[in-house]
Amino acid sequence: MNTRHFWLRSTVFALTPFVLFPFAGATQQSDNPAPKVAQSAPPSPDTQSAAKTNTPLQLTLQDALARAKKNSTEFQAATTEAAIAAEDRKQARDALLPTATYNNQVLYTQGNGAGSVRYIANNAVHEYISQGNIHEAIDLAGVANYRRAAAAAAMARERAEIASRGLVVTVVQDYFRVAAAQSKLEISQRGASEGEDFFKLTQALEKGGEVAHSDVIRAELQMQDRRRQLQEAQLELLNTKLDLAVLLFPDFNQSFEVGEDLHASVPLPTIEEVQQEGARDNPDLRAALAGVAEAGHGVEDARAGYFPSLSLDYFYGIDASHFATNSVIDNQKIHNLGSSASATLNIPIWNWGTTQSRVKQAELRRAQAQRELSLAQRKLLAEMRSLYAEAETALNELAGLERSAELASEGLRLATLRYKGGETTVLEVVDAQNSFAQANTSYQDGAVRYRVALANLETLTGALTTP
């Protein structure tokens, strides 16, 4: 064994053990306390539990989606609109059914001095009315209004579904961005540690007269670059967690970790499955169909103005000069309780063309709704092909990115060994380190791209693919 190889073994032994944070400046926190964030709500029970045990909350993707739906203002607004539309449908339905009211009225009229009244429209000086009334209106406009309200409620439900699927895409993207940022931080920690070890190695070789001082300078520059990359990775992880925390927690909790494996194998459905599910479960298409139905019932509602309407009323109670069930007139007992019924048929004759104008407005709205339906159908076909091609491309590239990361890791190991043996230059090691960092970053970003592409497909099919 020559002197250089013995000296290299001793040097490598002295450089161990391996540390994740080889320098204090990258992890040292400021002495100034962080400003307190105003909380809009008291801490949730799971947040309090995690705080007591000092362990971060473990979040699965399904947990994140459930929390986001509870705390998303836009999604809750869409569900509120759907609930309001459902109540409108209920009110339109109830308007078709008979109603019951109880009317009470007292009329005091000036007498004429002869036991009668001065105003011929009144029945007596004192008149008491206390009657129950059952009323029913038979009108084609009411039926059309109910159908239109039902279609509007269906469209509001589909819009809530659209908001739900859009929220899924946002949560999936932010969730796996956190997972990717965690992996990038681990790679940056490894790179920073290897950069410092390589810098120490070049210093030791320079002392032994085996490398030039330029190698030490190049290694130190590389070490400083790796430190900056570590700080950027820490910042990226912080920002991605903040973005996700805003969506999930009402009390802005940052003490959590994502539990899903970013690189878990998730199959891509076939294009035939996507087309079938998209044609059946696409909320945009269903909302457009409901819009056409609503506009069609609007035309029926407007045309109902050409037809007669019938009102039926049944009254039971008293309408007498005494507020009593019985009265005595000329020493004769008279029962005041009684019933009456009325039917009114309203026949439209002339309203200066208002009904015709309303029909024209409704027909214009129906034509526009039909055009929007046609557009939604074309957009669905285009989005199916585009989003599927995006997911398929991301999946195909992911295998190559994974292989590139493995090759870059092996290349860095071999380059370092060759440099220690004096068989290569410092530039090759630096290039291998750069390739390693770039390949792993691309691999993490490619995995996120594939997961987001699957979530975008979910907006068409409604089936979220999870490992």
CATH number at residue 9: 1.20.1600.10
pLDDT of res. 459 = 85
pLDDT of res. 273 = 87
Would you say residue 152 lies in a domain?
A: yes
Residue 1's pLDDT band (cuts 50, 70, 90) = very low
pLDDT of res. 48 = 52
Distances (CA, A) of 204 to 5, 20, 161, 227, 358: 13, 21, 64, 21, 91
Residues 460, 383 contacting (CB under 8 angstroms):
yes
Q: What is the DSSP letter of 209?
A: T
Residues 321, 127 contacting (CB under 8 angstroms):
yes
Model confidence, pTM: 0.72
> Six-digit token pair at 425?
């230059």
Per-residue model confidence as pLDDT tens digits over 149-173? 999 999 999 999 999 999 999 999 9
Distance CA 130, CA 320 (A): 9
Location of structure tokens 């993207």: 173
pLDDT of res. 464 = 55
Q: Which of 295, 355, 293, 304 is nearest to 141 (CA)?
A: 304
Domain of residue 177 covers 3-18+55-71+140-306+359-461
Would you say residue 264 lies in a domain?
A: yes
Would you say residue 203 lies in a domain?
A: yes
Distance CA 342, CA 149 (A): 30
> Six-digit token pair at 417?
């060994």
Residue 225 has pLDDT above 70, yes or no: yes
Q: What is the DSSP letter of 54?
A: T
Count of domains observed in the chain = 1
CA distance from start to end of the chain: 53
Per-residue model confidence as pLDDT tens digits over 387-417? 999 999 999 999 999 999 999 999 999 999 9
pLDDT of res. 293 = 94
Would you say residue 39 lies in a domain?
A: no
Mean pLDDT of 90-102: 94
Residue 260 has pLDDT above 80, yes or no: yes
Per-residue model confidence as pLDDT tens digits over 331-364? 888 888 999 999 999 999 999 999 999 999 999 9
Q: Output the DSSP codes for 186-199.
A: HHHHHHHHHHHHHH
Would you say residue 117 lies in a domain?
A: no
Would you say residue 260 lies in a domain?
A: yes
Residues 182, 175 contacting (CB under 8 angstroms):
no
Beta-strand pair 256-258/332-335? unpaired
Residue 435's pLDDT band (cuts 50, 70, 90) = very high
Would you say residue 95 lies in a domain?
A: no
Mean pLDDT of 263-272: 88
Per-residue model confidence as pLDDT tens digits over 172-215? 999 999 999 999 999 999 999 999 999 999 999 889 888 889 99
Mean per-residue pLDDT of the chain: 85
Would you say residue 433 lies in a domain?
A: yes
pLDDT of res. 33 = 39
pLDDT of res. 44 = 53
Per-residue model confidence as pLDDT tens digits over 24-52? 333 333 333 333 333 444 445 555 544 45
Phi and psi at residue 54, in whole multiples of 5°? 60, 30
Mean pLDDT of 438-447: 94
Distance CA 427, CA 218 (A): 8
pLDDT of res. 184 = 93
Residue 12's pLDDT band (cuts 50, 70, 90) = very low
Amino acid present at 194? E
